[in-house]
């Protein structure tokens, strides 16, 4: 077990290093740089800037510096935000993004699992059909449109919640909802499909025949097998959250990682973009790892961390 | 019974839309690029002249929607084909070969799945912006970049399904018979395995298409989609979102393109699900 865990951690490290190396090479291979202005800089200024950011060393030396910085959590100075270290920007943005993503994931689970179970139950057929229809519809619109709808409803019509900005929990409610609803829809569909299967299985049918109460049936026979696909989905869900946050943070003007990444990518702030990419890789990798661990715990048939 | 009617409605909708999109240049529409300053932000009249209203620059929304359909559907179809073109051979080869090859190839796929591909692709696209003039010289614009990006993003699920199918078919009696009579390698793959993978791959195509169209909307929102004056549904919807404010009600600007998008995706999902064996 611990040996396998170690191997997985090692492979996570390797994938972070590979992503870093690929991004690093891509950045260094580009000809244009953040110092390209409308007017050409004086050669001395150009040279001074390049020296300051270490662009005048050989590629190998630069890469070596970058990797040793990576292990210290140091990505060098941002190219656009003058006199600011990338790590400082990341340290400011990461908590916001974590709060956004973590809250959204929790909300998605809280909405998706019960509605999926409800959809599979034979007694509440209409509510279940409604849950399935809503889910299919939610998966067919882009999330910025969903954000627009929710803002129009809750901010402009009802005036309950602020349409954008950051400051209190109230500012996070709409972004949470926007990120969580599509995920909840997917979770609900997954749970529905698997629970329907479980309900028809021999074990559940014989349990029903023995006269188990519905509560006991749900707890002992249905929940565990029905929830394993949700665990398997946690990795892809994190990836979807990352993608979604790029858009949602823009819409709601939240100063999180996604906003920084998009701005950096558009403004050629490559050190910042590289830093965010590495942080994202680490986040996604560790979430996938946790999901796999949980899954092996829940379903002994899944060979732990194969 | 209702399910059958839903399927028919989905087919009818997609066919109508496809024909209208194909025929857009010859339909009696306003030019989708011409601006009319006196007709800005006209709400849909439904029966009278700007049937679906006009946008913030006074451009006809019906024309923009149909021209947007051309781009969105075309991009979706091409992107899906690119993803299939990469994923199917990869998965088929892995499943067919088996053994060490399969394990290595699938482990590579797992590793790729655990890095945030979307972020990586955006990174790549932003860097390729630097080479825009060189890329344009070899006839490679935003559209082609998008297709490459989609190929990078969506080939993985296709490869997985293709591998599973290849594994399943490899054990079927007719393949075993062919093997027993001495057929090996590429001829076996071509004559027996690939053709029999087609139904599953068709379903996969139908399921990937909606995701690619949504991806295009996502990139349009970030400003990396098709370049104006060309329009796509995602671009239209994100323009609608930008135009939205509490003082001027302009809900149709976002509602119409996203409604069209949603209907198309629902129809595709419907057909994809009904085609699943």
Q: What is the DSSP string of A32-89?
A: --TT--SSPPPHHHHHHHHHHTTTTS-HHHHHHHHHHHHHTT---B-SSSTT-BHHHH
Cis omega before residue B174 (within 30°)? no
Can you give the residue ranges of every domain in chain B?
2-25+74-274
B60 by DSSP, 3-state: which? strand
Inter-chain contact B123–A139, Cβ cutoff 8 Å?
Answer: no
Asked if pLDDT for residue A32 goes beyond 60, the answer is: no
CB atoms under 10 Å from CB of A190, counted, come to: 21
Overall average pLDDT of the B212-216 stretch: 87
Compute φ and ψ for B60, nearest 5 degrees: -70, 125
Per the document, the length of chain B is 277
Q: What integer best gives the mean pLDDT of chain B?
A: 82
Instruction: Kindly tell me if the per-residue pLDDT of A302 is higher than 70.
Output: no
In this complex, do A284 and B115 lie within 8 Å of one another by their Cβ atoms? yes
Residues of B in contact with A30 (CB under 8 A): 127, 130-131
The whole-angstrom distance between B244's CA and the closest CA on chain A is: 8
Output the pLDDT for position A110: 93
pLDDT band at A306 (very low <50, low <70, confident <90, very high): very low
Please, is A34 exposed, middle or buried when counting C-beta atoms within 10 Å of its C-beta (0-12, 13-18, 19+)?
middle
* Chain segment A165-198, per-residue pLDDT in tens: 777 777 788 889 889 999 999 999 888 888 888 8
Tokens for B18? 């496809």
**pLDDT tens sequence across B244-253:** 776 666 777 7
- Per-residue CA distances from B65 to A135, A281, B107, B256 (Å): 26, 38, 43, 8
Q: Are B221 and B30 in contact (CB under 8 A)?
A: no
Q: How many A-B residue pairs are in contact by the CB < 8 A criterion?
A: 120
Contact list in B for residue A281 (CB cut-off 8 A) is 115-116
CA–CA dist A269, A79 (Å, integer): 5
Contacts of B122 in chain A (CB under 8 A): 246, 261-262, 265
CB atoms within 10 A of CB B189: 21
pLDDT of the residue at A4: 76
Q: What is the mean pLDDT of residues B101-122?
A: 83
Report the pLDDT value the prediction gives residue A1, as an integer from 0 to 100: 59
Confidence of residue B80 (pLDDT cuts 50, 70, 90): very high
Helix (H, G, I), strand (E, B) or coil at B31: coil
Kindly list the residues from chain A whose CB atom is less than 8 angstroms away from the CB atom of residue B115: 15, 19, 281, 284-285
Q: What is the CATH number of domain B2-25+74-274?
A: 1.10.3720.10
**For range B65-85, the mean pLDDT:** 89
Residue B23 — very low, low, confident or very high, per pLDDT cuts 50/70/90?
A: confident
Q: Closest approach of chain A CAs to the CA of B258, in angstroms?
A: 7
How far is A215 from chain B, CA to nearest CA, in Å? 33
Q: Is B19 an interface residue toward A (CB < 8 Å)?
A: no
Predicted confidence (pLDDT) per residue in A246-274, tens digit? 888 888 888 888 888 888 887 777 788 88
Q: Name the pLDDT band for B276 (thresholds 50, 70, 90).
A: low
pLDDT of residue A305: 45
Mean pLDDT is highest, among A146-150, A189-193, A291-295, for A189-193
pLDDT of residue A104: 92
For residue A284 the two structure tokens come to 């996604």
DSSP code at position B138: T
Chain A positions touching B68 (Cβ under 8 A) are none
Q: Collect all residues of chain B within an 8 Å Cβ-Cβ radius of residue A181.
A: none
Closest CA to A169 of A262, A254, A260, A280: A254
Average pLDDT over residues B58-74: 83
- A27, closest residue in chain B (CA to CA): B127
Task: In whole angstroms, give the CA distance from residue A81 to residue A74.
Answer: 16
pTM: 0.83
The predicted structure's pLDDT at residue B130: 72
pLDDT greater than 50 at residue A276 = yes
Please state the rounded mean pLDDT for residues A153-165. 75
d(CA B50, CA B65): 13
A35: confidence class by pLDDT, cuts 50, 70, 90: low
Chain segment A80-89, per-residue pLDDT in tens: 777 788 888 8
Is the Cβ of B84 closer than 8 Å to some Cβ of chain A?
A: no
Residues of chain B contacting residue A258, judged by C-beta atoms under 8 Å apart: none
Query: With contact defined as beta carbons under 8 Å apart, do A16 and A278 qualify?
Result: yes
User: What is the Cα–Cα distance from B61 to B54, expressed in whole angstroms?
Assistant: 5
B40-78 burial code (b ≥16 CB/10 A, e <16): ebbebeeeeebebbbbeebbbbbbbbbbbbbbbbebbeb
The pLDDT tens digits of the residues spanning A107-140 come to: 999 999 988 888 888 777 788 788 888 888 888 8
Average pLDDT over residues A233-248: 86
Flag the least confident range among A30-39, B75-84, B111-120: A30-39
In chain B, whose CA is at the least distance from the CA of A156? B246
Mean predicted lDDT score pLDDT of chain A: 82
Does B51 reach chain A within 8 Å, measured CB to CB? no
Neighbours of B115 (CB within 10 A): 20
B129 CA: distance to closest CA in chain A (Å): 9
Query: What ipTM score was computed for the predicted complex, to two decimals?
Result: 0.79
Percent of chain A surpassing pLDDT 90: 6
Q: To the nearest whole angstrom, how far is the Cα of A210 from the nearest Cα of chain B?
A: 35
Q: What is the mean pLDDT of residues A232-256?
A: 86
How sure is the predictor about B46, in pLDDT bands with cuts at 50, 70 and 90?
low
Q: Of chain B residues 177-236, which have a CB less than 8 A from chain A?
A: 210, 214, 217-218, 221-223, 234
Residue B241 has its nearest CB partner, among A148, A277, A285, at A148
Residue of chain A with shortest Cα separation from B234: A142
Confidence (pLDDT) at A107: 93
Rounded Cα distance, B107 and A17, in Å: 17
| Residues of B whose CB is below 8 A from A266 | 126, 223
Q: Which residue has the higher pLDDT, A241 or A36?
A: A241
Q: What is the pLDDT of residue B84?
A: 92
Q: According to DSSP H, which parts of chain B are helical?
A: 2-23, 61-97, 99-113, 117-128, 132-137, 142-170, 173-180, 185-188, 194-221, 233-243, 251-275
**Has residue A304 got a pLDDT over 50?**
no
* CB distance B42 to B54 below 8 Å: yes
Tell me, yes or no, if B117 comes closer than 8 A to chain A by beta carbon: yes
Nearest CA in chain A to B248: A156
Kindly state the average pLDDT of the residues A62-76.
81
Of B19-23, B32-36, B61-65, the range with the highest mean pLDDT is B19-23
Q: Answer yes or no: are the C-beta atoms of A189 and A278 closer than 8 Å.
A: no
pLDDT band at residue A33 using 50, 70 and 90 as cut-offs? low
């Amino acid at each position: 077990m611990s040996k396998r865990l170690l191997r997985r951690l090692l492979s996570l490290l390797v994938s972070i290093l590979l992503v870093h190396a690929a991004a690093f090479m891509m950045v260094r291979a580009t000809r244009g740089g953040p110092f390209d202005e409308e007017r050409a800089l004086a050669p001395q200024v150009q040279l001074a800037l390049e020296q300051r950011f270490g662009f005048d060393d050989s590629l190998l030396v630069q890469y070596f510096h970058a990797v040793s910085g990576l292990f210290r959590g140091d990505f060098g100075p941002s190219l656009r935000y003058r006199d600011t270290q990338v790590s400082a920007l990341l340290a400011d943005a990461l908590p916001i993004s974590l709060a956004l993503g973590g809250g959204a994931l929790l909300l998605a689970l809280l909405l998706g699992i019960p509605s999926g179970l409800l959809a599979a139950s034979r007694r509440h057929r209409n509510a279940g059909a409604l849950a399935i229809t809503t889910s299919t519809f939610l998966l067919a619109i882009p999330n910025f449109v969903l954000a627009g709808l929710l803002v129009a409803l809750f901010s402009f019509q009802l005036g309950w919640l602020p349409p954008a900005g950051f400051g209190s929990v109230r500012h996070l409610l709409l972004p949470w909802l926007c990120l969580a609803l599509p995920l909840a829809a997917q979770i609900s569909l997954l749970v529905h499909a698997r629970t329907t299967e479980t309900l028809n299985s021999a074990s559940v049918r014989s349990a029903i025949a023995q006269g188990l109460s519905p509560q006991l049936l749900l707890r002992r026979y249905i929940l565990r097998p029905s929830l394993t696909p949700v665990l398997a989905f946690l990795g892809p869900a994190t990836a979807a959250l990352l993608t979604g946050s790029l858009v949602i943070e823009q819409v709601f003007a939240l100063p999180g990682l996604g906003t920084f990444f998009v701005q950096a990518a558009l403004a050629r702030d490559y050190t910042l973009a590289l830093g965010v990419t590495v942080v994202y890789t680490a986040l996604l990798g560790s979430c996938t790892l946790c999901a796999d661990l949980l899954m092996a715990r829940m379903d002994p048939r899944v060979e732990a961390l194969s | 019974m209702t399910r059958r009617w839903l399927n028919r409605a989905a087919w009818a909708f997609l066919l109508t839309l496809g024909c209208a999109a194909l025929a857009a240049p010859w339909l009696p529409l306003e030019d989708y690029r011409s601006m009319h300053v006196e007709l800005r932000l006209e709400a849909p009249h439904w029966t009278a002249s700007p049937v679906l209203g006009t946008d913030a620059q006074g451009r006809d929304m019906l024309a923009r929607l149909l021209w947007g359909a051309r781009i969105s559907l075309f991009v979706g179809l091409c992107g899906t084909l690119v993803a299939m073109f990469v994923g199917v051979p990869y998965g088929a080869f892995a499943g067919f070969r088996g053994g060490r090859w399969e394990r290595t190839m699938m482990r590579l796929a797992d590793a790729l799945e655990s890095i945030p591909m979307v972020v990586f692709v955006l990174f790549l696209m932003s860097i390729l912006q630097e080479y825009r003039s060189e890329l344009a010289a070899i006839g490679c614009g935003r559209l082609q970049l998008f297709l490459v990006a989609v190929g990078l993003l969506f080939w993985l699920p296709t490869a997985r399904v293709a591998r599973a199918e290849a594994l399943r078919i490899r054990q079927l009696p007719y393949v075993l018979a062919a093997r027993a009579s001495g057929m090996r390698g590429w001829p076996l793959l071509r004559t027996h395995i690939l053709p029999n993978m087609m139904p599953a791959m068709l379903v996969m195509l139908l399921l990937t298409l909606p995701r690619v169209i949504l991806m295009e909307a996502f990139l349009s929102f970030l400003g990396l989609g098709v370049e104006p004056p060309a329009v796509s549904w995602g671009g239209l919807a994100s323009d609608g979102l930008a135009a939205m404010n509490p003082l001027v009600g302009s809900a149709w600007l976002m509602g119409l393109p996203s409604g069209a998008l949603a209907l198309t995706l629902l129809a595709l999902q419907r057909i994809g699900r009904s085609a699943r064996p």
